[in-house]
Structures are given as structure tokens and as C-alpha cells.
């Protein structure tokens, strides 16, 4: 299960997207009165969810989603409150069941490290945590609760998400068109960043740096991946070694694509290639003609897709069971019923 904060932020982004578009108009529509929230907003098995709890979660989700609260219409704000409250109720129900699940310190530290590794730096991570209203202690508690919920939920699901290989093959056979692909090239590159509007002197200096890299991987026969990790200015190059994996021609900017698709496997560009990003030294590492990906190549991908679908169904079933067995009182006003369609004329 995802953390409550990330789920809620995603929900708000979807719910409030129409408002963001409307807000760009020169003359925003006049807002009606702000929605009033009862206190508490819900009672779950005798445990209250206060108005302050809901508002805090709402504000935190807005901050994470980058949505300006002044641009949200009251009706959509209430829709956001309803969705968030539903998530808080589910979180309380699952947390009550999972609270006794033991999480080893080593597992907790590993998960915290994994989350942090998704940010460019420790400073960026801390800034995002501050924006979301998380302290080191609350973040640690959130991660621990998430791991407890995941472990408890997995115990409830068991093997219900397992997909037999025969079902995977059947899905592949029935959806072969989805696995067709155009001609593909796999390439690595060394990028020397150069602003599009750079003056001639800067362009020449950057070209010189690209030429030096090209000489290292051609004349001096140095390993391309090693040189890319050392000098490429592409974000992530130190980890990827400049590898771009397979791509169709229309995924890359024309200058890069034309050069890569005009090269043979194992070939390195004779000159650096200039694009709007800068100078590229390109090496084509593999090619695939247009065709269909074989079953063995996509088997794991299809299995993961089908397992994910079954897992979501199983999780929903567990949550529905929890809700039906629990005493939950939701005090927010119910969502308005959709308007009945207008009768068709004769």
C-alpha cells in the first residue's frame, strides 16, 4: 500500500485538475461560501477523526500537489475533503489491524534509505518533507506504519494475486498487437550541455569538450561507459553510463534520432552531434527491426501487470470487508447525486 500522504496527493491532483484549468481564465468566477466541516468529521470504531485532522491532511496534500488553495472552488474542495476522509478512514481501519505487526529496525532503515534515494540530494529530501509538514520523527513513524500495513495486507492477500503462466500466455496471445514495435535502436551517449542561445565562443568551448570525449572513446579506445560516467553532464549519467535503452526514432529529437538510426551496432558517431540540449557523442549498442516482442521477453512485464490488477482487486476486497464489519460514522454531507439525463426529444 502507498502511504496515505502520497495517495491523497494523487487524489487531489485528479479531483482539482478542472479547477486549475479554470483558474487560468482572466475573469475567475465568483466563489460561493466555503464549505463548513463538522467536528469530528468521522468516528471510526469509537475513535474520532477531527476537523483539524482532515484539514491538516488536506493542506499537506495541497502542498505536495503544488495546488494553490485560492484556486479551488468550494464544491471541488468538498469533493476533495470527501476523498481524503475516505482515505483517512481506511488508513485507521488498516492501521488498527496492523498495529501489532513487528517491523525490524533493519527493514525500517532500508525503506527510509530507499525513499531518500529517490530524491536528488538530502537537502531536496528535507525540503520536500518540510513542505509536506513532516519531521524526521513523523516521517519515520509514517514509514513504519506503511510497512506494517503492507505486511498485514500481504498476509491477508496470500497467493490471491498469483497469476498462472498459462494466463500470462493467454493474455499475450490475445493482445499481440500491444506488443508490436517499430524499428528500435539502443544507444548510449556522452552529453556536454550547451544552451540553445549560447554565443559562438561558448558553443566552440563545449564542442571542444565533446571532441575530447570522442577522442578518448575512439582513438584512445577507452571504455565508453566509463568515460560517460566521468564526463557526461546528463542527469543520472553517473549511474546509467549514458545508456538510453531501446527507443523508437520518434522518441528522440530529430538530430539525435537521425544520427543514431543511421549508425550500425557498435558504431560511435564520427563527430559530436548538436541538439537543443548540447553536444552528444553517440554509440549504438544494439538494434531491433520492427516486429513483435517475443513472449519470453515480455513475460515478466505481463506477469507484473496481471498480478498488479489482481492485487488491487484483493486489497479492495479486504478493505470492503473491514468497512462492512466496522462501525464507521462519516459526518460529511453526502456527495450530490448526478443530475438525471434530459429526456430525448421525439
Reply yes or no on whether the pLDDT at 134 is more than 90: no
Domain count within the chain: 2
Q: Domain for residue 243, yes or no?
A: yes
Domain annotation covers residue 177:
no
Distance (Å) of CA 145 to CA 59, 148, 293: 21, 5, 40
Q: For Cα atoms 71, 75, 77, give the angle at the middle one, nearest 5 degrees.
A: 55
In the chain, the DSSP E strands lie at 42-44, 47-49, 180-181, 184-193, 243-248, 273-275, 278-288, 291-292, 328-330
C-alpha cell at 174: 490475445
Q: Name, in order, each residue with C-beta under 8 angstroms of 25's C-beta and a sequence gap of 6 or more.
A: none
Residues 148 and 283 in one domain: no
Which pLDDT value is given to residue 187?
Answer: 98
Same domain, 236 and 152: no
Segment 58-107, tens digit of pLDDT: 888 887 777 877 788 888 889 999 999 999 999 999 999 999 999 999 99
> Quick check: is 171 in a domain?
no
Range of the domain at 146: 4-158+326-330
Q: Beta strand 278-288 with 184-193: parallel, antiparallel or unpaired? A: antiparallel
Using DSSP, state whether 35 is helix, strand or coil: coil
Task: Cite the DSSP H helix spans in 177-223.
Answer: 200-217
Residue 204: pLDDT band (50, 70, 90) is very high
Same domain, 137 and 196: no
Mean pLDDT to the nearest integer, 167-187: 95
- The number of C-alpha atoms within 13 Å of 132 and in the hemisphere containing its C-beta is 21
Q: Are residues 196 and 101 in the same domain?
A: no
In this predicted structure, the answer to whether residue 208 has a pLDDT above a threshold of 80 is yes
Predicted confidence (pLDDT) at residue 21 exceeds the cutoff of 80 = no
pLDDT confidence of residue 15: 38
Mean pLDDT of 227-238: 93
Q: Is the pLDDT assigned to residue 19 strictly greater than 50?
A: no
Q: Please check whether residues 149 and 190 belong to one and the same domain.
A: no
pLDDT value of residue 27: 42
Is 296 part of a structural domain of the chain?
A: no
Average pLDDT over residues 250-275: 97
Same domain, 132 and 242: no
Of the two residues 36 and 233, the one the predictor is more confident about is 233
Least trusted range by pLDDT, from 5-19, 185-199, 203-217, 270-284: 5-19
Place of cell 528500435: 184
> Do both 98 and 217 map to the same domain?
no
Evaluate if residue 33 carries a pLDDT over 80: no
Task: Provide the CATH number for the domain around residue 67.
Answer: 1.10.4030
Do 93 and 21 have their domain in common? yes
Through-space distance between the first and last CA atoms of the chain, rounded to whole angstroms:
51
191 and 258 inside one domain: yes
Residue 270's pLDDT is: 96
Beta bridge partners, 188, equal 243, 283
β-strands 273-275, 328-330 pairing = unpaired
The domain that holds 270 is classified in CATH as 3.10.50.40
| Mean pLDDT, rounded, for 271-278 | 96
Specify if 312 maps to a domain.
no
Look at residue 73 in the predicted model and tell me its pLDDT: 86
158-169: b (≥16 Cβ within 10 Å) or e: eeebebeeeebe
Residue 321 belongs to a domain: no
For residues 276 and 208, what is the distance between their CA atoms, to the nearest angstrom?
Answer: 17
* 68/208 same-domain check: no
Closest alpha carbon to 86 in 339, 338, 331:
331
Could you give the CA distance from residue 266 to residue 283 in angstroms, rounded to a whole number?
7
Nearest to 133 by CA among 64, 224, 50, 209: 64
Do 154 and 282 have their domain in common? Answer: no
Question: Does residue 306 lie in a domain region?
Answer: no
- CB contact at 8 A, 49 and 92: yes
Cβ neighbours of 25 (radius 10 Å): 8
The pLDDT of residue 72 is 83
Contact 318, 157 (CB under 8 A): yes
pLDDT of residue 344: 66
pTM higher than 0.85, yes or no?
A: no
Coil, strand, or helix at residue 273? strand
Average pLDDT, the chain: 87
Same domain assignment for residues 189 and 272: yes
Q: Which residues pair with 180 in a beta bridge?
A: 292
Q: CB–CB of 206/279 below 8 Å?
A: yes
- The answer to whether the CB of 247 falls within 8 A of the CB of 185 is yes
CB 248 within 8 A of CB 262: no
- 323 pLDDT above the threshold of 80: yes
Residue 130 has pLDDT above 70, yes or no: yes
Residue 8 confidence (pLDDT): 41
Within a domain: 250: yes
Amino acid at each position: 500500500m502507498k502511504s496515505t500522504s502520497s495517495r491523497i496527493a494523487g487524489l487531489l491532483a485528479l479531483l482539482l485538475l478542472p479547477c486549475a484549468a479554470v483558474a487560468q481564465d482572466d475573469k475567475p468566477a465568483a466563489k460561493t461560501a466555503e464549505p463548513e466541516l463538522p467536528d469530528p468529521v468521522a468516528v471510526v470504531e469509537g475513535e474520532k477523526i477531527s476537523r483539524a485532522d482532515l484539514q491538516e491532511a488536506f493542506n499537506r496534500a495541497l502542498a505536495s500537489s503544488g495546488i494553490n488553495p485560492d484556486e479551488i472552488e468550494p464544491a471541488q474542495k468538498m469533493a476533495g475533503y470527501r476523498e481524503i476522509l475516505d482515505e483517512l478512514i481506511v488508513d485507521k481501519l488498516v492501521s488498527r489491524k496492523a498495529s501489532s505487526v513487528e517491523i525490524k529496525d533493519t527493514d525500517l532503515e532500508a525503506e527510509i534509505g530507499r525513499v531518500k534515494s529517490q530524491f536528488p540530494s538530502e537537502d531536496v529530501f528535507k525540503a520536500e518533507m518540510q513542505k509536506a509538514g513532516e519531521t524526521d520523527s513523523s516521517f519515520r513513524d509514517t514509514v513504519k506504519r506503511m510497512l506494517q500495513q503492507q505486511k498485514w495486507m500481504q498476509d491477508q492477500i496470500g497467493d490471491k494475486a498469483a497469476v498462472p503462466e498459462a494466463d500470462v500466455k493467454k493474455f499475450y496471445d490475445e493482445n499481440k498487437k500491444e506488443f508490436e514495435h517499430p524499428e528500435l535502436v539502443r544507444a548510449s551517449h556522452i552529453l556536454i550541455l550547451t544552451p540553445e542561445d549560447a554565443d559562438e565562443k561558448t558553443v566552440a568551448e563545449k564542442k571542444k569538450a565533446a571532441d575530447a570525449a570522442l577522442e578518448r572513446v575512439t582513438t584512445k579506445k577507452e571504455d565508453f561507459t566509463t568515460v560517460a560516467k566521468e564526463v557526461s553532464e546528463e542527469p543520472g549519467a553517473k549511474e546509467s553510463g549514458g545508456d538510453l535503452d531501446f527507443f523508437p526514432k520518434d522518441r528522440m529529437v530529430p538530430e539525435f534520432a537521425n544520427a543514431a538510426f543511421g549508425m550500425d551496432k557498435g558504431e560511435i558517431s564520427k563527430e559530436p552531434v548538436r541538439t537543443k540540449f548540447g553536444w552528444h557523442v553517440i554509440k549504438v549498442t544494439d538494434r531491433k527491426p520492427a516486429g513483435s516482442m517475443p513472449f519470453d521477453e515480455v513475460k515478466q512485464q505481463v506477469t507484473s501487470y496481471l498480478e498488479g490488477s489482481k492485487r488491487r482487486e484483493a486489497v479492495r476486497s479486504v478493505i470492503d470487508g473491514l468497512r462492512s464489519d466496522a462501525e464507521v460514522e462519516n459526518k460529511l454531507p453526502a456527495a450530490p447525486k448526478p443530475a438525471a439525463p434530459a429526456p430525448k426529444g421525439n
